[in-house]
Amino acid sequence: MSFTPFFLYNITLHASLNSRNYFCQFLKSIIQPVYGAQHPPLDPRLTKNFIKERSKVNTVPLKNKKASSFHEFARNTSDAWDIGDDEEEDFSSPSFQTLNSKVALATAAQVLENHSKLRVKPERSQSTTSDVPANYKVIKSSSDAQLSRNSSDTCLRNPLHKQQSLPLRPIIPLVARISDQNASGAPPMTVREKTRLEKFRQLLSNQNTDLDELRKCSWPGVPREVRPITWRLLSGYLPANTERRKLTLQRKREEYFGFIEQYYDSRNEEHHQDTYRQIHIDIPRTNPLIPLFQQPLVQEIFERILFIWAIRHPASGYVQGINDLVTPFFVVFLSEYVEEDVENFDVTNLSQDMLRSIEADSFWCMSKLLDGIQDNYTFAQPGIQKKVKALEELVSRIDEQVHNHFRRYEVEYLQFAFRWMNNLLMRELPLRCTIRLWDTYQSEPEGFSHFHLYVCAAFLIKWRKEILDEEDFQGLLMLLQNLPTIHWGNEEIGLLLAEAYRLKYMFADAPNHYRR
């Protein structure tokens, strides 16, 4: 009938006060996940089905309850995984445009409601250049005051962030600077930080570096200037004796490129094709929002590193998630040759020798890390299964209310914590925070295998309020898989590590204390 087009015309005209296509902007806002640190772009095929489900929810009578458990959620979304093979499908496809009139009217009414709320409460958008839905929740970092002063020139650097419905905020550099390690409001370089840097340099210049003292100094964070050499020492890649370091580096780098000559051509052989194909697929998905990792030369380096590691470790081979573990080492060793922030740096500006050194060092340090957690990636991944179970037991003792909340809505720890263990929280935290976290992991005995468990427990409990506010399975899973840490800095990581150390001190030497 004629009422529907006229009604929608008025809606479109009213919404155009703020944007040309407010209707499409609203549709994107209702399907956008809670902002996390590193999540891949939404698959448009999943997005299409998700919009259909949301539309169904908006049109059901109020007496119908939301899916409050896994079984209800599974029944209500049983068609969500019926995806075809066409990866080019998007919002403009005919299937998306076949919304019925009831859905269109309900969505349009919601547009008007949200738009009127934004006009009534303009103070919610004082720091933004685009409209934010009224129900959007942004958790602010305690480091904001310092970042706004020290990074005013960085807010325009990465256009990818402008596309998101977030307030315009300065972006913390990818590689954490020393000034980022200070408390909020501290000067860019305090006397204390200068003293720490000088202490590191003295330790590293000794003929035989005291590794125990180096670990103690590195626990609260390593200054950017000395992080590359410190990581090489703490990972066991370099010897403590300064006279042996140059020869060791030369020998290990030549050994790595010997592996390249010996094994890399075999990637086209039939029994290695599946491994190489999976690596080739995963590399572009590694930190997709950071331009550095989308450069072809960088992706070729990652492919060689991962393929050679897989060939030399047949017990596990390549497993999805290992690709993420290369990135912190690559960034840290790249920063040795680059003064500026590396997120937009063009690696073709480096010499061939520099690139070869970065590649070989990244391979050996990643190998040292994986040697301690290889049972995470063998058949059936038993290491991860044990760690997730230990996390469940630990949380049941330190916060029984959160544990019972998960049980009430049938949320299994494996559904969200598997990724935490498989990727060492790299998908939950910005890369700058991962680098700071690994300063401590490499300073701790069994940091990546044992201490990581307590970091995960502290990380989960940090969001207890948000977890308890969610009262259905779907909401809990969406929160836990997209935790809002995008604005985190070194201060938040420092608090997280302090809480993890407290938990370790209480439970690590008394395992029976957290068993029922």
pLDDT of residue 353: 96
CA distance 131 to 138: 14
Contacts of 128 (CB under 8 A, 6+ apart): 166, 167, 168
Say how far residue 78 (Cα) sits from the centre of its chain: 28
> Three-class SS of residue 208?
strand
**Res 508: pLDDT:** 77
Residue with tokens 């590396």: 342
The whole-angstrom separation of Cα 210 and Cα 240 is 7
Q: How far apart are CA 286 and CA 327, in angstroms?
A: 8
- The whole-number mean pLDDT for each consecutive block of 10 residues of the chain, a chain of 516 residues, reads 44 44 48 42 46 45 52 58 44 47 68 59 40 38 40 40 37 39 48 91 94 96 95 96 95 96 90 92 91 95 96 92 95 92 90 96 97 92 95 94 96 96 95 95 93 97 96 95 92 96 86 56
Task: Spell out the residues 6+ positions from residue 382 whose beta carbon is closer than 8 angstroms to its own.
Answer: 375
3: exposed, middle or buried (Cβ count in 10 Å: 0-12, 13-18, 19+): exposed
User: 428 and 494 in contact (C-beta within 8 Å)?
Assistant: no
107: which residues sit within 8 A by CB, 6+ positions away? 23, 26, 27, 55, 58, 99
- Global pTM? 0.68
Tally of CA atoms within 13 A in the half-sphere of 354 that contains its CB: 12
Nearest to 67 by CA among 82, 58, 57, 59: 57
Query: Is 18 within 8 Å of 70 (Cβ atoms)?
Result: no
Secondary structure (DSSP) of 57-109:
HHHS-TTSPP--SHHHHHHHTTTTT---S-TT--TTSHHHH---HHHHHHHHH
- Quick check: 16 and 24 in contact, CB under 8 A? no
For each of the domains in the chain, give its residue range(s) and CATH number, in order of start. 173-178+190-372 (no CATH), 379-515 (1.10.472.80)
Residue 373 · residue 337 · CB < 8 Å: no
Q: In b/e form, how buried is each residue of 282-294, taking b as 16+ CB within 10 angstroms?
A: bbeebbebbbbbe
Indicate the SS3 state at residue 177: coil
What gap in Å lies between CA 473 and CA 402, rounded to an integer?
14
In the beta sheet, which residues pair with residue 208? 241
Quote the pLDDT of residue 372: 92
Reported as type and span, the H/E element at residue 435 is helix 431-441
Distance CA 371, CA 144 (A): 38
pLDDT at position 101: 64
Which residues does 8 contact at the CB level (< 8 Å), separation at least 6? Answer: 104, 108
In order of 167, 183, 408, the CA distances from 149 in angstroms are: 17, 13, 45
* 49: Cβ contacts below 8 Å, ≥ 6 apart: 79, 80, 82, 83
d(CA 101, CA 119): 27
For residue 415, the model assigns a pLDDT of 95
Lookup: tokens for 19: 């944007």
Residue partners of 481: CB distance under 8 A and separation at least 6: 33, 36, 39, 416, 419
The token duo for 104 is 């269109």
Question: 391, 459 in Cβ contact below 8 A?
Answer: no
Distance CA 13, CA 15 (A): 6
